[in-house]
Chains A and B, each alone.
Chain A
Amino acid sequence: MRAPLLLAALALLPLGAALAAGEAAARPTTSSFRAVDVWVDSGTERLAAYQVEVTYDAARVRIVGVEGGEPAGFRDAPWFDEAGKTGGRIVLAAFVPQDSQAVNGARRVARLHLQVEGDAAPALTVKLVAAAKPGGERIKAGAVPRLAEGSK
């Protein structure tokens, strides 16, 4: 009498394990949305055009939106390639519609909205590819990413 019950219990063990695994798989992983700003500092020169390359961990980070920056000349979203939203590398570029809108100093020129897997902060690098002042003369500048205010 006990043997068939034991056998039935043993037969049900894999089913229980499978159900438990399915539940774990269905449980959503920790994911959050963050915003990261791209800053370009052209020092005393007025910035008329910039191009930066942003790299990120494609295994954890996906870009879900690209916005322009704070100065009027860079308020529109920069040029970028849609393929760059998920491949780990994206290039952003823009120039001011009017040279009078070129400004100097450290400026937020773009904002990236990210979907990040896991709790750790997204690690991004920003490299300046090119920058120019009004008239097109190339200038030196720095570029850095900063977590946007209010973004955890």
Chain B
Amino acid sequence: MGTEGHDLNQDRQLQQLESALGADLRRALRPEAAEPPARVDAAVAEMIRTRSGEVRRQLAAGRTRRWPVWAAAAAALLLAAGVWTAAVMGRGAGARRPDIIDAYLLERRIESGARLDAASDQNGDGRVDRADVEALARRAVEVRRKEGA
């Protein structure tokens, strides 16, 4: 009985010691808090602000540089469309002075019986026939005297 009591007492003491030491050990070995110091935090925030500003400026500069390229492309597109429209409309309206090849082609179209549009009516008589070929050919060879000649 005396020995058992002594053992029990020892066990209790060991447990107390163990818990006391363990708590101290855990406290001693516990890593320090990971929160950065305020000055580090401020420095990092400042770096982020600086870099963000640089990126924003670069993006803005890029947009500014790209604008003339887009403007030039749009202008070129508009110019091409204008030239094409003028060419098509000019052909239809007879803006270009006709030459003998226009007369030849009209003659062949009349011969072939192809469908002829109203623009081919050169003399305005409401029909497209050989008289229009004649009118085209005459316009092709027309000579305008120089002023004063």
A residues with CB within 8 A of B = 48-51, 58, 78-81, 83-84, 87-95, 99, 129-130, 132, 136, 138
Contact = CB atoms under 8 A, between A and B. Distances in A.
B66 to A, nearest CB: 43
Contacts of A138: 101
A79 B140 contact: yes
Interface in B74-108: 99-101, 103-105, 107-108
A139 B117 CA distance: 26
Contacts of B149: 58, 87-88
Contact of A91 (B105, B140, B145): B140
Nearest to A135: B108
Contact of B143 (A51, A87, A130): A87
B137 interface: yes
Contact of A93 (B140, B144, B145): B140
A97 to B, nearest CB: 9
Interface of B: 99-101, 103-105, 107-108, 137-138, 140-146, 149
A93 B104 CA distance: 10
Contacts of B107: 95
Nearest to B106: A136
Nearest to B149: A87
- If over half of B's interface residues share one DSSP class (helix, strand or loop), that class is named, otherwise mixed; here it is helix
B58 to A, nearest CB: 54
B143 A132 contact: no
A132 B104 contact: yes
Given A48-B104, A51-B100, A91 B142 contact: yes
Given A49-B101, A95-B103, A132-B104, A79 B143 contact: no
Given A49-B101, A50-B100, A136-B104, A93 B143 contact: no
B103 A84 contact: no
A92 B141 contact: yes
A50 B100 CA distance: 7
A111 B136 CA distance: 22
Nearest to B145: A87
Nearest to A138: B101
A95 to B, nearest CB: 4
Given A129-B99, A130-B101, A51 B108 contact: no
Nearest to B140: A93
A95 B143 contact: no
Contacts of B142: 81, 91
